[in-house]
Amino acid sequence: MGAKPTIIGLSGVRDIMLNCFVNLSRSIRVGISFGLEEKLDDILSSINQVAEGVNDHNEQVAEGISTAGVVVALAEKYNTKMPVLTAAACIIDSEMTTKKAVVELMRFPQAEEV
């Protein structure tokens, strides 16, 4: 789609490191909450800071949460497999439990990484 590989730069690596390894990260808190089978509304209401954005109704939303389904739709359009994001979108949309998503991901055929 013409995107530039920004993840390779220092800012991309920094963002990944902070989101994945810092306990104060909203991403970690949301992920752990989903792992504990908490509901999205409860998770978002427990975050006591702006969660990356505000929607048209002036409600706080986590950007990754609100865009997961869009990214999955684009992946399907461009025939790109994104099993982890697809599982996350299913959890967000209450289409699948976290435990079922993990089982499904473990069954996903292995492929050579790019």
Q: pLDDT tens per residue, the chain (114 residues)?
A: 777 766 666 677 777 788 778 877 777 888 888 889 888 888 888 876 554 544 444 454 556 687 888 999 999 999 988 999 999 999 989 999 999 999 999 998 887 766
Q: What is the pLDDT of residue 57?
A: 47
Q: Which whole-number Å values give the CA distances from 58 to 4, 53, 55, 61, in the listed order?
A: 31, 9, 5, 9
The ranges assigned to domains in the chain are 10-107
3-class DSSP state for residue 37? coil
Any idea which architecture 10-107 has in CATH?
A: Orthogonal Bundle (1.10)
Q: At what angle do helices 10-21 and 26-35 cross, to 10 degrees?
A: 40
Q: CA 94, 87, 43: angle at the middle one, nearest 5?
A: 45
Contacts 24+ apart (CB under 8 A), 36-39: 37/97, 37/98, 37/99, 39/94
- Which tokens belong to 108? 């996903």
Q: What is the pLDDT of residue 9?
A: 67
- Asked whether 33 and 27 are in contact (CB, 8 A), the reply is no
Q: Measure the CA–CA gap between 90 and 101, rounded to whole angstroms.
A: 8
* pTM (two decimals): 0.71
